[in-house]
C-alpha cells in the first residue's frame, strides 16, 4: 500500500506539493487519514519530475522513510517543475529490492505508482507472465507485485494504447486473475494524468483560485518575486490527483471506486471501469475479461497470450446489471448512488479550461 500524488500545472517547487502542506506526503507517511489498508508508509518513497525540453523525467527514490531524508527536503525546496508524481510506500511483503521497489517506476516518458496489492501474489498471476516479452521480465526494476503491474501496463503503452485505457485494461486483467486485488494505479507522461480507483481512496482538485489567494515567502520578498501558496495551485489550469487531500480546501472531489480518472490542464474526466465480454460472448484473451473505460469498444489486448484454436474459452464474466448506463451523481458528494460509477466531467468544468 502507499499514498501517491500527481500534479500538472504552473511551475512550482516539489516541496510546495510534497512537503509543505499541512497533510503532505511527509505527514501521510506516518499519519494517513484515509488509507484503508496499512497504517504507516515508511518502506521507501520517491518522486519523479519533468524538466523543460526533456520528455524523460528524473527520479529520486530511497528505501527508507521520507521523514528521515534531509537531502530530499533540501532538494524539494529548490527543484521546480510543471509535472510530477510522488509516492510513499508501505511494503506488502518484506523484500531485498531496496529503493528499486519504491515508486515511481519509470520507462521512457512515463512515471507510475501502484497503491494496493495483488492478492495471491505471485501464484495468482503467474499465467500472465506469458503475456510479456522476456526483455520486459528481465528489465523489471524489482521483484514485487507493483513492478509486475507496471510491466503489464508498460507493454500496453509501448504498443500505442492511450494512458487511461492502458491502466483500465491492466486492472481488469489483474482482477480477473486475482479477484480481490487492490489496484489504485497512477500514471503520467508529463501532459496527462491517468489513475484508477480499485479498492482504495482517490481524490482530485482543480479549478480557479479564490480571489485574493496567495502569500509571499521570505525568499520571494527578497527577490521581489511573489511565491504562490497552495491555494493557487489550481489556477492556470492546474490539477492534482492524490490518494487523499493534502489540505482542507473544499475543492477536493472524491473519486468513486472502480473508476478511471483522466486529467489534463484542460479538465478532468471520470469513467467507469467495467468487465465486459468480447464480441461473440467470449472473454478477452488476456485475463478473462475486457476493459471498457473510454466510451469506445476495446480492441484486443496487446499482451494477449496465444491460445490454441481448439481450446474452449472459459465462460464470460457477466457485466454488473446497469453498468452500461451512466449513473447519476449524488449532489455534493462526487459519488454515484448505485454500484456503477458515472462517466462525467468534473463539477467545476466540463472539458473547458478552469
| Residues catalogued as catalytic | 2
What is the DSSP code (8-state) at residue 29? T
Query: For residues 101 and 44, is the Cβ–Cβ distance under 8 A?
Result: yes
Query: Which residue is listed with cell 510513499?
Result: 88
β-strand partners of 83 = 8
Query: For residues 30 and 38, is the Cβ–Cβ distance under 8 A?
Result: no
Joined grid coordinates for residue 172: 481488469
Query: For residues 236 and 12, is the Cβ–Cβ distance under 8 A?
Result: no
296's CB contacts (< 8 A; 6+ apart) are none
User: Residue 20: how many CA atoms within 13 Å on its side-chain side?
Assistant: 17
Task: Report how far residue 4's alpha carbon sits from residue 45's, in angstroms, rounded to the nearest whole number.
Answer: 10
**Exposure string for 37-75, b = 16+ CB within 10 A, e = fewer:** ebeebbbbbbbbbbeeeeeebebbbbbebbbebeebeeb
Phi, psi of 193 (to 5 degrees): -110, 130
Strand ranges of the sheet holding 2-13, from the earlier edge strand across to the other edge: 54-62, 45-51, 80-89, 2-13, 239-242, 203-206, 253-254
Helix (H, G, I), strand (E, B) or coil at 339: coil
Query: For residues 119 and 73, is the Cβ–Cβ distance under 8 A?
Result: no
Beta pairing class for 54-62 and 80-89: unpaired
- End-to-end CA gap in the chain: 32
157's CB contacts (< 8 A; 6+ apart) are 107, 108, 110, 163, 166
Amino acid at each position: 500500500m502507499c499514498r501517491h500524488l500527481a500534479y500538472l500545472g504552473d511551475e512550482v517547487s516539489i516541496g510546495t506539493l510534497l512537503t509543505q502542506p499541512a497533510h503532505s506526503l511527509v505527514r501521510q507517511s506516518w499519519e494517513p487519514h484515509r488509507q484503508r489498508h496499512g497504517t504507516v508508509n515508511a518502506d521507501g518513497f520517491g518522486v519523479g519530475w519533468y524538466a523543460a525540453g526533456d520528455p524523460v523525467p528524473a527520479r529520486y527514490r530511497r528505501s527508507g522513510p521520507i521523514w528521515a531524508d534531509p537531502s530530499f527536503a533540501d532538494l524539494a525546496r529548490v527543484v521546480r517543475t510543471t509535472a510530477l508524481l510522488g509516492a510513499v510506500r508501505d511494503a506488502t511483503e518484506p523484500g531485498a529490492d531496496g529503493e528499486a521497489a519504491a515508486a515511481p517506476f519509470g520507462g521512457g516518458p512515463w512515471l507510475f505508482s501502484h497503491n494496493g496489492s495483488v492478492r495471491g501474489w505471485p501464484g495468482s498471476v503467474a499465467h500472465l507472465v506469458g503475456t510479456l516479452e522476456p526483455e520486459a521480465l528481465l528489465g523489471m526494476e524489482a521483484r514485487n507485485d507493483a513492478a509486475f503491474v507496471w510491466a503489464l501496463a508498460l507493454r500496453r503503452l509501448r504498443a500505442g494504447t492511450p494512458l487511461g485505457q492502458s491502466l483500465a485494461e491492466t486492472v481488469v486483467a489483474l482482477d480477473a486473475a486475482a479477484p480481490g486485488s487492490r489496484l489504485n494505479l497512477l500514471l503520467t507522461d508529463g501532459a496527462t494524468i491517468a489513475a484508477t480507483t480499485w479498492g482504495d481512496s482517490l481524490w482530485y482538485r482543480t479549478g480557479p483560485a479564490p480571489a485574493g489567494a496567495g502569500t509571499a515567502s521570505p525568499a520571494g520578498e527578497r527577490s521581489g518575486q511573489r511565491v504562490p501558496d497552495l491555494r493557487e495551485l489550481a489556477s492556470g489550469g492546474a490539477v492534482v490527483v492524490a490518494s487523499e487531500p493534502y489540505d482542507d480546501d473544499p475543492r477536493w472531489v472524491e473519486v468513486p471506486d472502480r473508476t478511471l480518472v483522466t486529467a489534463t490542464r484542460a479538465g478532468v474526466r471520470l469513467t467507469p471501469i467495467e468487465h465486459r465480454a468480447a464480441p461473440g460472448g467470449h472473454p478477452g484473451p488476456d485475463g478473462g475479461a475486457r476493459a471498457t473505460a473510454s466510451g469506445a469498444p476495446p480492441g484486443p489486448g496487446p499482451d494477449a497470450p496465444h491460445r490454441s484454436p481448439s481450446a474452449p474459452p472459459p465462460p464470460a464474466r457477466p457485466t454488473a446489471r446497469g453498468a452500461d448506463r451512466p449513473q447519476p451523481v449524488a449532489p455534493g458528494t462526487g459519488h454515484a448512488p448505485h454500484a456503477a460509477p458515472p462517466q462525467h466531467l468534473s463539477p467545476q468544468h466540463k472539458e473547458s479550461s478552469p
